[in-house]
Structure 1
Amino acid sequence: MRVCRIYGHFGADVSAHELKLASAAQRHGGPDAQHSSYGPGWGLGSNRLAITDPGGGRQPYELGAGIKAVFNGEVYNHEALRARLKDRGYRFPDACDGSVLPALYAEYGEGFAEHLDGMFAVALMDLRREPTLVLATDDAGMKPLYYRWDAARREVYFASELLALLALQQRRPAQWAPGLDAYLATKTPFGEETMVEGVRVLPPGATLVCSRSKGLRLTRRTARDAVGETDRAGQELRGSGERVLNALRDEVRRLAVADVPVCAVTSGGLDSSLVTALMAQRGAGPGLHTFNIAYQGEWPWDERHFAREVAELCGTRHHQVELDVADIPGMLPEVVWHSGQPNADPITVSTYALFEAVRAEGFKVALTGDAADEAFGGYARVKAALRADGAWIPAYVDALAAVLAAARERLYSSDYRAYVADRGSASDLIARRLSEAEAQASRLDVLTAFETDIRLPAYHLRRVDHLSMAHSVEVRLPFCQRPVSGLARSLPAAHRVDGPRGKLALYEAAAGLLPPSVIDRPKQPFTLPVTAMLSPGSPLTAYARELLSPGRLRAAGLLDPAAVGVLFKAQRERPADGTALAIWALMVFELWREQFAVATAFTPVVRERSPVPLPVLTRRPSLVEVES
């Protein structure tokens, strides 16, 4: 097994030198080896991070001269696939998981990804007849793949990271005109859009096929939850907890296997603590290393004592990482650079620093508790939406935002404000899609589908992938595995959320495994205490004022310098979480805009793209079909 970075093109005139530039742009994610293969009108390349079978796995993987594949991720069922394919006459050069891909494609064609269990982004060239490119992503969207399709030229460029894709194109990128509003509405662009005009991200569970004669075709595979329909009203909570625990234990056991050291990230919350406890149950015991990040000094939301309590109970070797807040201005440019797109959650800094420490201690693989809140209904905004008697959508959409809609309008320049009003805001688009979905499914199913299929890949999984791979660390996600996430969706609604309480079945699963203090404590955010850090005279405040100076803002033409000045005045006189997050979000955006050298000077006349509906209902066969 290995996690890599991949890149390539189809139908374009790309030199070997340009392929090397793309490789160099994401070498941090695959420092162990770099290989590429190319021919007339096509090229494939990879940067390798060796995890299992370090002596094998040279990419591209090949089947004769006709099929070549590069691969980012893990195929957890590769041994079963290899045995099946051997019975059909195929032979393999090594025990690497990716080496099964060419034979799997030869056997099943475009449907090959239906047989993969894991996290992956695959690029495959079929040269047997008309040259054809095939791209595929895993069902959860754990491994992102960016691409640009030039319909006029019939050219496709793709890469695991936005930077590498831009290196292939060799041209100055332009900002997607609605991007600032989309970013401030949801903290990062949702759906398939990116902040760069013309560049999209392949959605979860997707297969893209491109040839010169047929052009580009993108299909969404039918999601395959590991459990079928259940009698949602006929289970006891204890039974649901046992099923969740058994499924999670099996996935933790599978994902903790590697030929390199494996550790656990333990935030001190329920989800990561449960993963840690199950890893320790495997017999890892004193050999298991756990990592937690906190900040030097006294700050709100400090969870280190909860994490240490879990580590002591499980008998792990615990590493307490402490970040000096004075270092944040120096770190933030690196965080934004590796993120590829702006992400307004201050947790990005914590994530980056945490995985830097994980790698410094010699670990290439870490298991985390990410994605439990989405599947089991853990977020406060979801619980509030379910309790609401009437119109729940406006408050829910507001809870997604870095800056509320009314405040965003005041921050925009007059030209950009008029553009957003004419086009419709990103919040309006989300609200409309949620309203349409609620007409076909239960509110909990609508919320779960949106949180899991739309927000999770864009906002959460890409962040974790990019900021861990910035330090050559592979993150494995037990809660994203189908036996766990599918089971969560099948549970009775009351076993996920009951009034103000969420994740009930998960808490039931953790009973007896975790300290009462972890199970009984209120949920709190794992993030940077940015409100306290943006105090008058602090290094972060000085850096924010430099980034958001009137001259810079006027040059970009998207924000009103006077309105941004009002934000700083409000934060100085009446510090508040909403104000601090708005300043932070604008800092990140300005850093991204300058680092990526995007053409952002806004004019009312822009190249308009038809908005792509957020696929709330198309990710699953139908929300109606899974309604009890």
Structure 2
Amino acid sequence: MCGLAGFYTNIANSNYTNILKSMIDAIHHRGPDSEDIHVFSNSNNGIVGLGHKRLSIIDLSVKGKQPMTSVSGKTTIVFNGEIYNYQPLRVELESEGWQFRTNTDTEVILNLYEKYGEDCLQYLNGMFAFAIYDREKEQLFIARDRLGIRPLFYMYEPGSTFVFASEIKSIFQFPGIHKSVNNSALIDYTRNRYVSNPETIYKGMMKLEPGSFLLYKQGQLTKKKYWDITNFEKRNLSFSDAQMELDQLMQDSIRLRMISDVPVGAYLSGGLDSSLIVAMMAQNSSKPIKTFSVGLENSQYNELGYAKSVADMFKTDHHEFVISPKDFRDSLYQVVHFRDAPSSETADIPMLLMSRQAKKEVSVVLTGEGCDELFGGYPKYAYDQLTDTAWGKIVFNNRLISKMVNSLPYSFRKAKLAYNSLSIQDDVKRYRNWFASFSESQADSLLSDEFKNQYLSDASARFPVINGVTNLDKMQYYDMKFWLTDNLLERGDRTMMAASIEGRLPFLDYRLAEFAFRIKESYKINGFNRKYIVKKVAEKYLPNHIINRKKIGFYMPIADWFRNEMKDFVTDHLLSSTFFNRGIFNKKKVEEMVKAHINGVTNHEKEIWMLLNLEIWFRSSVDRR
């Protein structure tokens, strides 16, 4: 895993070497092992810069340093990620006469590009973001992996300049690029806790979408999609055959992700997904797997006991870390800095702190992200099917029932969320609402009238087109494209790379994604039994009390902390003149909400979390231009 940055411009500047150096220095944490930069010009008076920060994982020698130029001298690459199938690809290329000077997967990409051009992407199984400068075509070719595991941001001034990097903070080092708020995307954040691709919370700063690539040549930028889930036709597989195929795919995915020239470990929560990964890793290792878990100080919500039981079962070299409310508070500004955006979830902080501890032992960890989205792990996947029933159409459109449900106390918040989500007829709005901190109407009530009048229509026009045949198809597709990519994967990348540690995600092998969307839906959701086929595969490796235990997730008791340990922190940020002078939020509504929470009248932890992180982002980024 690494950090990359670069540009292609026709604006003359004698200082581009120093500019590129400052760009990669801004993301030093992504690759502290080595660095290099190349700046060169072409016949069209274009100036191209490629910079790289390296976290050495494969071929630790200096030969693996980037930017890397091909044996032919035609192409130069900067690459962030891992190509898991690079070894058989290399064997095939060598048999055809292609030459190699390193043992890296980076050089495999270069030779594949010179052989196949843009179609080289069809051969790669991995997580990646890379930029290749083609000297003959005088163009930049930039690509991101199919599921968006590795990030790539860019800013484009038509006809003159294209700037890109692994993190937004790097792009802001380029002269003439200034921080400006994308106000319609800010509304997106208030509703969803993240900004949907291809936009970001900064005006003009874009994300390259998963499964897409860019070509920049002679001042023109072209974007193309090379992969997507488009075939939803269900395969005629028996359940036993599907179970066997999933088992084999998982085993192969984990075997490939254990290839490394540095120590590899795993994050272990004690839940189904991470426990299954550890079980399969143990089968593929002659040494104890290093596992890592995080918990809360003096908390009833700890999952450390479950993780420890799995660690004991597979005799791992297990490490536990405990965090306090002070650790949490003191890390808020750090998390926002590394994310280049407001923090979306409280779990961002334990992920960051655990990664810093894990780095003392390993440089690579396997994690369980993606299983819920692909195999139907969330309760909403089971409940949303009720919208298509005759009974559901009656119950979820009844005003009397709606009034009764919404009058329930906060302790019934999950039931209220479910009812209100199922009452939304528009598919995309319903999918968004299931994971939103609060409904659109609740979020909009916090915004000032002036701000809404100016930007709300732009935000409402940003709903995407969703692929799929059935409701479950469309719901999982939406989550894979947005919730997973823009929230969970961004969190994982930023919090782990902040500690210079590489996260690998076995469930997000693209072959598993294609498999998941083409098996029968009853194999994923069996009645109300979620992730059914994954659980059946897991029976070969894990005991029932791990497979079928209730999913808890990493819960942070911020409702109590906001009333006690973090009370002053909250009021200093959200009841300040600085906050209200931004003109974004309704002062009266925010004051009422914060005071009602602090006084224990109602629970507004989610609203306060959203507003608090937004204000931290303003103070630490936008205000510090």
User: Please, what TM-score do these two structures have when normalized by structure 1?
Assistant: 0.88
Aligned partner of 1:544: which letter? V
Q: Give me the whole-angstrom Cα distance separating, in 2, the residues matched to 1:410 and 1:222.
A: 39
Give the superposition deviation at 1:178. 0.7
Q: Match for residue 591 of structure 1? A: 616
Change in 2 beyond 3 A, CA 1:74/1:414? same
Change in 2 beyond 3 A, CA 1:182/1:599? farther
Q: Give me the whole-angstrom Cα distance separating, in 2, the residues matched to 1:466 and 1:342.
A: 12
- 1:411 maps onto 2:438 in alignment: no
Q: Match for residue 563 of structure 1? A: 589
Q: Match for residue 576 of structure 2? A: 550
The residue correspondences of 1:422-571 to structure 2 (distance < 5 A) are: 422-425=457-460, 429-430=462-463, 433=465, 441-534=469-562, 536-538=563-565, 540-571=566-597
Change in 2 beyond 3 A, CA 1:369/1:208? same
Q: Match for residue 582 of structure 1? A: 607
Q: Match for residue 79 of structure 2? A: 71
| Cα offsets for 1:17-41 (capped at 9, x unmatched) | 1111111100101000010111131
Q: Give me the whole-angstrom Cα distance separating, in 1, the residues matched to 2:19 and 2:268.
A: 40
Aligned partner of 1:398: which letter? N
Aligned partner of 1:511: which letter? E
Q: Give me the whole-angstrom Cα distance separating, in 2, the residues matched to 1:537 and 1:343.
A: 21
Change in 2 beyond 3 A, CA 1:352/1:170? farther
CA contact (8 A) 2:30 2:53 kept: yes
Q: Give me the whole-angstrom Cα distance separating, in 2, the residues matched to 1:192 and 1:319.
A: 38
Give the superposition deviation at 1:207. 1.1
Change in 2 beyond 3 A, CA 1:542/1:514? farther
SS of match in other structure, 1:90: coil
Change in 2 beyond 3 A, CA 1:363/1:599? closer
Change in 2 beyond 3 A, CA 1:303/1:7? same
Change in 2 beyond 3 A, CA 1:158/1:566? same
Change in 2 beyond 3 A, CA 1:110/1:552? same
| Cα offsets for 1:138-159 (capped at 9, x unmatched) | 10101010001111x3311000
SS of match in other structure, 2:36: strand
Q: Match for residue 379 of structure 1? A: 378
Q: Match for residue 50 of structure 1? A: 56
CA contact (8 A) 1:256 1:262 kept: yes
Q: Match for residue 231 of structure 1? A: 235
Q: Give me the whole-angstrom Cα distance separating, in 2, the residues matched to 1:377 and 1:224.
A: 16
Aligned partner of 1:94: which letter? T
Q: Match for residue 29 of structure 1? A: 30
- 1:241 maps onto 2:243 in alignment: yes
| Cα offsets for 1:596-622 (capped at 9, x unmatched) | 12699xxxxxxxxxxxxxxxxxxxxxx
Q: Give me the whole-angstrom Cα distance separating, in 2, the residues matched to 1:381 and 1:278.
A: 28
| Cα offsets for 1:188-208 (capped at 9, x unmatched) | 101210011111010011110
Q: Match for residue 609 of structure 1? A: none
Give the superposition deviation at 1:512. 4.0
SS of match in other structure, 2:259: coil
Q: Give me the whole-angstrom Cα distance separating, in 2, the residues matched to 1:355 and 1:371.
A: 19
Change in 2 beyond 3 A, CA 1:416/1:107? same
Give the superposition deviation at 1:80. 1.9
CA contact (8 A) 1:190 1:458 kept: yes
Q: Give me the whole-angstrom Cα distance separating, in 1, the residues matched to 2:506 and 2:602.
A: 35
The farther-off stretch of 82-91 and 176-185 is 82-91
CA contact (8 A) 2:153 2:208 kept: yes
Q: Give me the whole-angstrom Cα distance separating, in 2, the residues matched to 1:88 and 1:5.
A: 32
The residue correspondences of 1:101-112 to structure 2 (distance < 5 A) are: 101-112=109-120
Q: Give me the whole-angstrom Cα distance separating, in 2, the residues matched to 1:160 and 1:240.
A: 37
- 1:38 maps onto 2:39 in alignment: yes
| Cα offsets for 1:466-523 (capped at 9, x unmatched) | 1100011000000000232222222110011133321000011111422322222122
Q: Give me the whole-angstrom Cα distance separating, in 2, the residues matched to 1:424 and 1:58.
A: 43
Give the superposition deviation at 1:221. 0.5
| Cα offsets for 1:551-604 (capped at 9, x unmatched) | 112232211232211221221344766x1011011111111112112699xxxx
The residue correspondences of 1:610-621 to structure 2 (distance < 5 A) are: none
The residue correspondences of 1:280-319 to structure 2 (distance < 5 A) are: 280-284=282-286, 287-299=288-300, 301-319=301-319
Aligned partner of 1:498: which letter? N
The residue correspondences of 1:177-326 to structure 2 (distance < 5 A) are: 177-212=183-218, 215-223=220-228, 231-232=235-236, 234-236=237-239, 238-284=240-286, 287-299=288-300, 301-326=301-326
Aligned partner of 1:451: which letter? D
Give the superposition deviation at 1:343. 3.0
Q: Give me the whole-angstrom Cα distance separating, in 2, the residues matched to 1:461 and 1:451.
A: 12
Aligned partner of 2:172: which letter? L
CA contact (8 A) 1:8 1:44 kept: yes
Q: Match for residue 357 of structure 1? A: 357
Change in 2 beyond 3 A, CA 1:91/1:366? same
CA contact (8 A) 1:306 1:517 kept: no
Give the superposition deviation at 1:395. 4.5
| Cα offsets for 1:303-352 (capped at 9, x unmatched) | 11111111111111211110111222211101110011223211111111
Q: Give me the whole-angstrom Cα distance separating, in 2, the residues matched to 1:574 and 1:433.
A: 42
Q: Give me the whole-angstrom Cα distance separating, in 2, the residues matched to 1:175 and 1:205.
A: 27
Change in 2 beyond 3 A, CA 1:444/1:230? closer
SS of match in other structure, 2:285: helix
- 1:7 maps onto 2:42 in alignment: no
Root mean square deviation, CA, Å? 2.1
CA contact (8 A) 1:11 1:212 kept: no
Give the unaligned 5+ runs of structure 2. Answer: 42-46, 394-423
Q: Give me the whole-angstrom Cα distance separating, in 1, the residues matched to 2:4 and 2:206.
A: 16
CA contact (8 A) 2:335 2:343 kept: no
Give the unaligned 5+ runs of structure 1. Answer: 601-628
Aligned partner of 2:280: which letter? L
CA contact (8 A) 2:232 2:469 kept: no
Q: Give me the whole-angstrom Cα distance separating, in 2, the residues matched to 1:422 and 1:76.
A: 44
Aligned partner of 2:206: which letter? R
The residue correspondences of 1:85-96 to structure 2 (distance < 5 A) are: 85-96=93-104
CA contact (8 A) 2:355 2:501 kept: yes
Q: Give me the whole-angstrom Cα distance separating, in 2, the residues matched to 1:18 and 1:478.
A: 37
SS of match in other structure, 1:559: coil
Give the superposition deviation at 1:61. 1.5
The residue correspondences of 1:134-173 to structure 2 (distance < 5 A) are: 134-151=141-158, 153-173=159-179
Aligned partner of 1:595: which letter? S
CA contact (8 A) 2:146 2:228 kept: yes
The farther-off stretch of 31-40 and 494-503 is 494-503
Q: Give me the whole-angstrom Cα distance separating, in 2, the residues matched to 1:500 and 1:598.
A: 48
